[in-house]
């Protein structure tokens, strides 16, 4: 097994074409570039609408790149076949989005254990890991057997984080992981990030919380530099 090589983005370009609105073309990124090494946490900064989430989604692969390359552990997400990206997401690349999307009625414990189950981890082991994370993130045990669809925003956010940290992904994308969390839970999330860094994960994050950003990020990348200039 070769060593994990982190994330490298170069020459990234993207525009949206709105076919049902007169074919309007909206350029959103030109020449995007960044790299995140193993054990490093890089923060994306820039005003709202500058393209932080867009860049993150292009690395995750749910937004298509029109130009450039996105290497995640050597796999170019901009060129890879769907099943290569599926394999990458199972094993290598984790993503904590701002939204929790789950099959209704599935218990929280199983929602969190699922990334491990997909990798073939036995049920009891996967659930034990899920229980540890939920307990750390202060989700009361009486809620574990319920579906998270009825939880409060902050609780859903923590379930989403637990799910994102269940498997020790070598690369992690975190979209506002500390938003809508109280001080105690914010602290737990920041230590989870620090532990992931310590085990050698490459982390790219969006943090509006400046204190959090300063504490976990080794450096920041301002996406305004990749915003297309109005002609």
Interacting positions 172-211 with another protein (CB under 8 A): none
Rounded Cα distance between 129 and 109, Å, is 9
Which helix (DSSP H) or strand (DSSP E) does residue 194 occupy?
helix 183-198
Q: Are 11 and 187 in contact (CB under 8 A)?
A: no
Which listed range, 15-23, 37-45, 127-135, 176-184, lies at the site for another protein (CB under 8 A)?
15-23
**Nearest approach, Cβ of residue 110 and another protein (Å):** 9
* Contact set for another protein, span 93-122 (CB under 8 A): 101-106, 117-118
To another protein, the closest distance from the beta carbon of 166 in angstroms equals: 15
Question: What's 149's DSSP letter?
Answer: G
Convert 86-121 to b/e letters by CB count within 10 Å (16 or more is b): eebbeebbbbbbeebebeeeebbbbbbbbbbbeeeb
Q: Compare residues 103 and 135 and give the one whose CB is closer to another protein.
A: 103
Q: Shortest Cβ distance from residue 70 to another protein (Å)?
A: 13
For another protein, the closer CB: 55 or 216:
55
Kindly tell me which of 47 and 86 has the beta carbon lying closer to another protein: 86
Which parts of 119-182 fold into alpha helices (H)? Answer: 123-136, 153-166
Single residue of 42, 50, 55, 57 touching another protein by CB under 8 A: 57
């Amino acid at each position: 097994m070769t060593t994990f090589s982190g994330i490298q983005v170069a020459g990234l370009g993207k525009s949206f074409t709105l076919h049902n609105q007169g074919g309007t073309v909206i350029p959103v990124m030109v020449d995007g570039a960044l790299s995140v090494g193993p054990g490093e946490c890089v923060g994306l900064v820039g005003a709202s609408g500058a393209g932080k989430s867009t860049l993150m989604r292009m690395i995750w692969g749910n937004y298509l790149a029109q130009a450039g390359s996105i290497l995640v552990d050597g796999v170019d997400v901009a060129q890879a076949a769907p099943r290569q990206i599926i394999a990458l997401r199972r094993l290598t690349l984790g993503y904590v989005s701002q939204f929790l999307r789950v099959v209704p009625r599935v218990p929280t414990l199983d929602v969190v254990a699922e990334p491990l189950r997909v990798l073939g981890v036995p049920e009891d082991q996967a659930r034990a890991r899920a229980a540890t994370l939920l307990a750390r993130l202060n989700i009361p045990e009486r809620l574990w057997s319920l579906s998270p669809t009825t939880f409060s925003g902050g609780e859903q956010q923590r379930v989403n984080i637990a799910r994102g940290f269940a498997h020790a992904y070598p690369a992690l994308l975190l979209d506002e992981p500390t938003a809508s969390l109280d001080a105690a839970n914010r602290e737990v999330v920041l230590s989870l990030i620090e532990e992931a860094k310590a085990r050698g994960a490459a982390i790219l994050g969006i943090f509006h919380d400046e204190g959090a950003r300063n504490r976990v990020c080794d450096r920041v990348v301002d996406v305004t530099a990749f915003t297309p200039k109005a002609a």
